[in-house]
Structure 1
Amino acid sequence: MGATGLLEAQLRNWRRELHRYPELSGQEVQTTSRLKTWLAEYNIESSSWGLTTGLVADIGAGQPIIALRADIDALPIHEQIDQAFTSSQNGVMHACGHDLHTSTILGAAILLKSRESELKGTVRIIFQPAEETYRGAYEVLNAGILDDVSAIFGFHNVPELPLGTFATRAGAFYANVDRFKITINGKGGHAGRPHETRDPVIVASQLIQAVQTISSRSINNLETCVVSITQIHGGTTWNVIPETVELEGTVRTHAPEIRIAVEQQLRQIVQGIALSHSVEILVDWENGPAALINTPQWATFSKKVAADQGYRIEDVPLYLIGEDFGAYLEKIPGAFVSIGSGSPFGLHHPKYQPNESLIFPAAQYFATLAIQALESIA
């Protein structure tokens, strides 16, 4: 087996070790230790840069600096696949493929190290914690890791895309992801004497219907807008009207102004319904990751490099899932791309099983992308 085959096998083995020992967001202590050890085996120095978990390594020297990012955390999901490297952590699984992303960018780092003398600047490798909780990107930014970086690139495997396919788009790609909780405080009482109560269940039912008009009647239908109420909690038994009902849900948009408009409209609806029913309704709104908006120049550039590397290029729709990489693109230029992993089950599924064959070609792609990006800036 040649050097290429050995590295490909090594990356696959590393992915399987990461898969067997997954760690949740912010708890990636052993993952970080493994990465540091593996990088050192190839004479790549790394540092925490002040992060509690996660790792950063620079390859090359001087300006400009191009960054490659991989996410390293797992999900609180119990794996339902019986294989030699099934998760050993009960209720924790790499069900989103961050183990694939990590091994891919490890491979890119090793390939770049072998050509370090040729680099027209520096490639900064970022192994980011806590993507699933949308905190990790902000931790990286707050640590100053991107302060002197000219552009950043990252990717996500996509089970719905066949192996060997590549997709990205200029401009908006992944969505703003916001979360809301609505608490209705009414007056409880006997279910047989509802006139003596201010029934929060009735209020909740009206609120659910009214909230659906935001996307259908308040927002231009040509704009992306999804409002979903996904949880309802209230009551303890069949013959008592409760004091309180809680609703939770999510809003997905792409345009910043639509994101703001939806929150304003939701609060206005809540205020009107609360007044009409003489109840108190509290809204807790939590902004999640911002929409991921690719820099057109770098999206086009990344697609061209992929085509040159032999990927089949496909058109990609807007995604309504979230990705904290968008926080980076609010600060500096760059591009996020999709690479097909051909899994029969999708992301966050307990039987998700991506094709490992994507790892080495993707590592070669990102090494080439970084080299060419440096050359285009220098």
Structure 2
Amino acid sequence: MDETTVKSYIEEVFAWLHAHPELSYEEHETTTKLKELLSRNKIKLLELPLPTGAAAEIGSQDGPLVALRADIDALPITEETGLPYVSKIEGRMHACGHDFHTAAVLGAALLLKEKESALPGKVRIIFQPAEEAPGGAKKVLETGILDEVQAIFGIHTSPLFPVGTLGLSSGPVMAAVDRFVLRFQGTGTHAAHPDRGVDVIPLAAHFISALQTIVSRNSDPFAANLVSITRITAGNTWNVLPETAELEGTVRSLTPENRQLIKDRLYALAQNEAEAFGAKVAIDWIQGPPPTINDKAWTNLFLDIARKQGFTLQEAPKSLGGEDFAYYQEKLPGVFASIGTGLSAPNHNPKFKVDPAALLPAAKLLAALAEGALRRLAK
């Protein structure tokens, strides 16, 4: 399949995917479609023992093994783009560009298939479910399908860059994402007699103020860390001091060391504040994806190939958003890049859209990257 044919083919696939969004772990129609497309183009399907998602492999020779990853799930958002291929499913939308990622990686697979016999190794293609859950990457890793892979690469749409621009840098580029829930337990009493109880309202207020000192006083001032309380629940009437206060929030950090520091300090502050007020505290810590940290050597190769492909290069803007591609990077070297898909409303916005003109350049870039990685490993 030549480049002109690939271009029209993946643009058509992209439009279909956009019109048929499916939520995390529900991507059954998407999975069936992808398997049909891969089989139709004589690309070898691999067994991926998950309810959704697909895997394939290109290459006919023994040698190194690298992987390209695309995520396939959508979001529970009602689309407001007015595109001719607008979502056909009310309340669901590809508002983060996973339809673009999937079509671009499929395009790379088609281009690699044309030179399969000349590849000095194999390229494994992963169409991953449930990035938005998050956690689909962990499910893929648990299958063992990446056990022998030596490097993995992925992209993400960027509404900050025009078509033809690539945002990429080595080191941390996206944050570890953790969630916490605290329940302060005091003693309820009449609001007229606070001395007869243990009031969790001022306790919660003290804790919230103290929590901000973790970033301002305990961590490196030049580090990008964030601690936010996003929900407070306490009391249900005006003249009763409640027995409990529940606080929920999120922690974002760019290094494993800061991730652990923040967790340790949060636990210490919560327990010490509770003790000082004569209350008790229970803490639930829900660990999310680790930081997305790009391998330096593979980033340099990615940059070199993107330059040769005619991309304008920008340093990737660091984000305290999370990305479950990071689970792969805990196990093997990897690079995650931001690819310009035209200026637009932000990701996760009902008006978010991408320019299909970016599809073929992205597919060519990923195909060249996979081949270049194999040749470097084969030396």
Q: TM-score, length-normalised on structure 1? A: 0.96
1:115 aligns with 115
2:325 aligns with 325
Question: Within 5 Å, which residues of 2 pair with 1:70-149?
Answer: 70-149=70-149
SS of the counterpart of 2:58?
strand
Distance 2:356 2:329 in 1: 28
- Residue deviations 1:175-201, cap 9 Å, x none? 111111111122223334333332222
Q: Is structure 2 residue 65 aligned with structure 1 residue 65? A: yes
2:257 aligns with 257
Distance 2:85 2:193 in 1: 59
SS of the counterpart of 1:46?
strand
Distance 2:193 2:179 in 1: 35
Q: 1:248 to 1:88 in 2, by over 3 A?
A: same
1:184 aligns with 184
Distance 1:234 1:343 in 2: 42
SS of the counterpart of 1:324?
coil
Contact 2:167 2:317 in 1 (8 A): no
Contact 2:68 2:153 in 1 (8 A): yes
Distance 1:320 1:24 in 2: 23
2:8 aligns with 9
Q: Aligned AA for 2:18?
A: H
CA-CA distance at 1:120 after TM superposition: 0.7
Unaligned runs of 5+ in 1: none
1:242 aligns with 242
CA-CA distance at 1:319 after TM superposition: 2.0
Q: 1:86 to 1:243 in 2, by over 3 A?
A: farther
SS of the counterpart of 1:173?
strand
1:46 aligns with 45
2:55 aligns with 56
Contact 2:67 2:124 in 1 (8 A): yes
Contact 1:72 1:99 in 2 (8 A): yes
Question: Within 5 Å, which residues of 2 pair with 1:225-304?
Answer: 225-304=225-304
- Residue deviations 1:325-373, cap 9 Å, x none? 1111111112111111223211111111122211111001101111111
Contact 1:167 1:316 in 2 (8 A): yes
CA-CA distance at 1:150 after TM superposition: 1.2
Q: Aligned AA for 1:6?
A: T
Contact 2:46 2:57 in 1 (8 A): no
- Residue deviations 1:17-67, cap 9 Å, x none? 111111111111111001001112211131342122111100013221110
Contact 1:234 1:244 in 2 (8 A): yes
1:310 aligns with 310
Q: CA RMSD in A?
A: 1.5
Contact 1:167 1:303 in 2 (8 A): no
Distance 1:280 1:154 in 2: 45
Unaligned runs of 5+ in 2: none
SS of the counterpart of 2:125?
strand
Distance 1:116 1:252 in 2: 42
Q: 1:193 to 1:80 in 2, by over 3 A?
A: farther
Distance 1:317 1:58 in 2: 32
SS of the counterpart of 2:331?
coil
1:219 aligns with 219
- Residue deviations 1:112-150, cap 9 Å, x none? 111111111101000011111221111111111111111
Contact 1:68 1:105 in 2 (8 A): yes
SS of the counterpart of 1:198?
coil
CA-CA distance at 1:217 after TM superposition: 0.7
Q: Aligned AA for 1:211?
A: L
Distance 1:48 1:346 in 2: 35
Q: 1:269 to 1:52 in 2, by over 3 A?
A: same
Distance 2:198 2:88 in 1: 50
Distance 1:87 1:20 in 2: 4
SS of the counterpart of 1:49?
coil
CA-CA distance at 1:3 after TM superposition: 4.5
Distance 1:9 1:202 in 2: 62
CA-CA distance at 1:303 after TM superposition: 0.6
Q: 1:343 to 1:354 in 2, by over 3 A?
A: farther
2:154 aligns with 154
Q: TM-score, length-normalised on structure 2? A: 0.96
Distance 2:18 2:305 in 1: 29
Contact 1:194 1:241 in 2 (8 A): yes
